[in-house]
Chain A
Amino acid sequence: MADLQTAGAPERQAMPLTGASLPRQAPLLAVLIAGGLAALLALLGVIGWVAAIFVGWLLLMVGLPLWSRAVEGGRRSVDRGVTLLVWSAFALAMVPLVSLVWTVVSKGFGILSSQFFNNSMRGVLGEGGGIYHAIMGTLIITALATVISVPIGVLTAVYLVEYGKGSTLARVITFLVDVMTGIPSIVAGLFAYALFALFFGPGVRMGVGGAVALSVLMVPIVVRAAEEMLKLVPDELREASYALGVPKWRTITKVVLPTAVAGIVTGVTLAVARVAGETAPLLIIAGLTTGTNFNPFSDRMATLPVFIFYSITEPGLHADAMADYAWGAALVLVAIVMLLNIVARVVGGFFAPKTGR
């Protein structure tokens, strides 16, 4: 055996299929060494912890590519450098996002209590109040907006997919829906204000105005989602229905819409989650009040986002207590929105066609 190898192999050994490469654990090793050095510097008190992280990162960014260049050559070294850079960008992007979630949970959790959920802020200065009025306002206004937007949105999608395919009107509508997705939320609020001021005079504030403003933001999302889902319904189903002599409108209501309903529900839920957190339009048209108002057709109505906003910008004498309320309300709002999102994705994921990542 040994003879064979020495006799037949030299040429092969001179031309290996793969070049020299760093060991598999090289990146991990580099991270450990750079991190260790930086931590050592920080422990010795030479530099602060923030600076230490930066120094460690710099060591890693210079060290690993240099090592790789020495062993593997320029191209592999660039590849390793970029890999590090991409992961650093990822880590850097995660810092604010994680910190945001952590801050909301840690600062908001302390104030949650049955009193916080069951009281309004009427007559409350400082501690002892709650966000019942704001939760109710958010629920009422969002529900109204949903009631307005869903029929309009779904029917428009039906028109685009089933009736207007290729017509000029359909193209114009598609374009306008695109435009509507880009309307700044505060502009939607100004629109609702201008519309209601026309009928009720300037200075008007009412919950239904907020619902109209939110609908302007919500309709395009619903149309987009419903359109995509209706397009996924196979034509065979429609044709089978026509072949049985079923009129078009019954085909749509009995065959097409039920087939697409899961996806449409997902889209609507996502749209609800999106507008439930909108602040700017409600700030303008729904305003804020300290008491609970169940009637969206008269007077100001408190909502969670607006409550958070005013608790910070105009806290009055009890700034600390109001900041606590704001964080508590923020946690509740984020929880509601997240819950809606998760429900939507579970529903959608369950029925969605399989795709790659």
Chain B
Amino acid sequence: MTVTAPPVVDAEESTGRVGDAVFAGISRGSAILIMLALAGVAVFLLQQGLPALGNHGEAAYGKDNIWAFVWPLLFGTLLASLIAMIVAAPLAIGVALIISHYAPRPVAKVLGWLIDLLAAIPSVVYGLWGIQFLALNMVPVYKWLEDHAGWIPFFEGPVPNSGRTMFTAGLVLAVMALPIITAICREVFAQTPKMHQEAALALGATRWEMIRLAVFPYARSGMVSAVLLGLGRALGETMAVALVLAPTLIVSFNLITAEQSSSTIAANIALNFGNASGSKIDTLIFSGLVLFVITFAVNFLGRSIAARGRKG
């Protein structure tokens, strides 16, 4: 076997090798930078937030300890998001069904486009609409609820004339989360195998039976993860709530009152950060850390359910 002489390594090729190493290094470096950034977020929040664990009295906004400060806000965050999901999830699934199965195709295309555009509207605009339009228009409804359902703790009142209540905040969050949940559900519905659907129809199923028997079982995990991702957005949402609710530290199920209403973590940070200094900043950052952990858990759950759905 004759061995041919190795080709002369020309300048081109050697720069190619060096270039390759450099380029691979840069791209791996930026990937690692992302890792560092996320680690940075965690480290900075911990470093600034953990000293607040010992805060009490003035530094914890008049509470005995830090947990007494965080708990009412956490409660309010969960309550507002829960209201939002109860309102938004069924509506979003309805809208997604309209787009994927009910509306004629050209109409559906335009609707899908519109929903995507609505998902892009900045949250502060939702908040502005919430405080200056929705809140005022909800007052008669709240008044009616107070008069007729006041014996339920949720609707005790008194109803403020501004309409700035927990229920309003929940509704604004619902309107914000709606396009997001719709967008994901629509995609999942559209991915249902055509054959399953046609088989159901061929067996004489009505459209609803086809959706119930072929589309929903296929899309179940996708729908759950869509709602969880919407919940993640609602939990972390700041401005809409900050505009509607005053920062209070109260645990209250009363949905239609102003003074005795809970507030949320994110809104509380936004409203108090400007005036905070020293250890109060630590306290606020600690509450941000709690929010981060919870949002992370919800998003993680949502994504792992979605991933399992894709495999199964």
Contacts and interface: CB of A to CB of B under 8 A. Distances in A.
A185 B292 CA distance: 10
A87 B98 contact: yes
Interface in A175-221: 176-188, 190-191, 194-195, 197-198, 202-203, 216, 219
Most chain B CB atoms below 10 A, which of A96, A158, A169, A327: A96
Q: Which of B31, B90, B95, B273 has the most CB of A within 10 A?
A: B31
A93 B238 contact: no
Contacts of B303: 178
Nearest to A330: B125
Nearest to A93: B91
B113 A345 contact: yes
A172 interface: yes
Contacts of A232: none
A352 B44 CA distance: 40
Interface stretch (B18-26, B66-74, B155-163): B18-26
B102 A87 contact: yes
B122 interface: yes
Interface residues of A, number: 96
B215 interface: no
Contacts of B125: 100, 104, 277, 308, 330, 333-334
A334 B296 CA distance: 29
Nearest to A344: B120
Interface in B166-207: 171, 175, 178-179, 182, 190, 206-207
A305 interface: yes
A169 B32 CA distance: 9
Interface in A279-321: 279-280, 283-284, 287, 305, 308-309, 312-313
A276 interface: yes
B266 A280 contact: yes
B2 interface: no
A4 B236 CA distance: 76
Nearest to A212: B37
A309 B208 contact: no
A86 B97 contact: yes
Given A180-B34, A187-B291, A223-B34, A90 B98 contact: yes
B228 to A, nearest CB: 10
A139 interface: no
B4 interface: no
B227 interface: no
A248 interface: yes
A187 B22 contact: no
Given A280-B238, A357-B105, A76 B206 contact: yes
A180 B38 contact: yes
Nearest to B126: A100
B124 A277 contact: yes
A75 B99 CA distance: 23
B128 A277 contact: no
Contacts of B94: 85-90, 93
Contact of A173 (B34, B124, B128, B296): B34
A216 B19 CA distance: 29
A334 B121 contact: yes
Contacts of A158: 27
Contacts of A176: 34-35, 38
A172 B132 CA distance: 44
B40 A190 contact: no
B17 A247 contact: yes
A82 interface: yes
Of B40, B132, B288, B291, most buried by chain A (CB within 10 Å of CB) is B288
B120 A341 contact: yes
A195 B41 CA distance: 9
A78 interface: yes
A165 interface: no
B24 A163 contact: yes
Contacts of A333: 122, 124-125
A178 B299 contact: yes
B232 interface: yes
Interface of B: 13, 16-17, 19-20, 22-24, 26-35, 37-38, 40-41, 44-45, 47-48, 90-95, 97-100, 102, 105, 108-109, 112-113, 116-118, 120-129, 131-134, 171, 175, 178-179, 182, 190, 206-209, 232, 235-239, 242-243, 266, 269-271, 273-274, 277-278, 281, 284-285, 288-289, 291-292, 295-296, 298-300, 303
Given A75-B209, A250-B19, 7 more contacts: A93-B92, A159-B27, A247-B20, A284-B270, A308-B128, A312-B131, A337-B122
Interface of A: 75-76, 78-79, 82-83, 85-90, 92-93, 96-97, 99-101, 103-104, 107, 151-152, 155-156, 158-160, 162-164, 169-170, 172-173, 176-188, 190-191, 194-195, 197-198, 202-203, 216, 219, 223, 246-250, 252-253, 270, 273-274, 276-280, 283-284, 287, 305, 308-309, 312-313, 323, 326-327, 330, 333-334, 337-338, 341-342, 345, 356-357
11 contacts: A83-B102, A86-B98, A156-B31, A178-B300, A182-B232, A182-B295, A184-B238, A187-B295, A277-B122, A334-B125, A341-B116
